[in-house]
Amino acid sequence: MRLIFSDPGAYPGSRAIFLDRDGVINRRVIGDYVRHWQNFSFLPGVLRAVRALSAIPVPIIVVSNQAGVAKGLMSERDLRELTFAFTDAFASYGGRIDSVYYCLHHPDKRCDCRKPRSGLLRQAAREWGLNLTECFMIGDSESDIIAGASVGCKTILIGGGPDPQLNIREWGCISAENLSEACDLLLSSMSSAKPPTMLQVTL
């Protein structure tokens, strides 16, 4: 599923900021999925962080695995309405989300779009005219970092830290406590960007 809220032609460059959703924008529901707006809770500082990121003239794109649809725990309509609700909340606060790309498949399908595979990023790159090596991927899990690093994105890991086997420094990944801190790091990185390290991974 993809939802586009802005005209890709409004952004003449080839950069973008990719955000994971659960654990980056909103609190995870442990052992379950965020199924409705009623159980969607923004993490502290996220509204302010996205408003700050919105001052940068690049698209802000959410990429997220949402297997709850394939598992029958929520409908595509539920997910669409939830997405409209949180993007409207950002807009009311002076921020923006330009598009959202979801993988709805069951993990057993081993589809190309479910992170840590990079299908969602590649699709967004085609539709928004992006050079993925100039883009940023911000996530809270190993799968987010692998998806971004495998196509050359600069990556920022937020939250509790990576799996012990995930050598984020070797991949050029940096870490942040939350999206607010990631926003500060991103703004600094965009002013002094270095070529990213490509991650070679077989999935």
Region 19-47 average pLDDT = 95
Contact between residue 121 and residue 134 where contact means Cβ atoms under 8 Å apart: no
Q: Does the pLDDT at position 117 exceed 60?
A: yes
CA angle 148, 149, 153 (to 5 degrees): 65
The residue annotated as part of the active site, out of 7, 20, 78, 163, is 20
| 78: annotated active-site residue | no
Q: Does the pLDDT at position 168 exceed 70?
A: no
pTM to 2 decimal places: 0.90
**H or E element that contains 157:** strand 154-158
List pLDDT tens digits, range 53-63.
999 999 999 99
* Three-class secondary structure assignment of 49-108: HHHHHCCCCCCEEEEEECCCCCCCCCCHHHHHHHHHHHHHHHHHCCCCCCEEEEECCCHH
Q: Which class would CATH give 2-191?
A: alpha beta
- Among 80, 150, 83, 87, smallest CA distance to 115 is for 150
List pLDDT tens digits, range 61-84.
999 999 999 999 999 999 999 999
Q: Which two tokens stand for residue 54?
A: 């919105």
The residue annotated as part of the active site, out of 22, 78, 98, 140, is 22
List pLDDT tens digits, range 125-150.
999 999 999 999 999 998 999 999 99
* Position 202 confidence tier, pLDDT thresholds 50, 70, 90: very low
| 88: annotated active-site residue | no
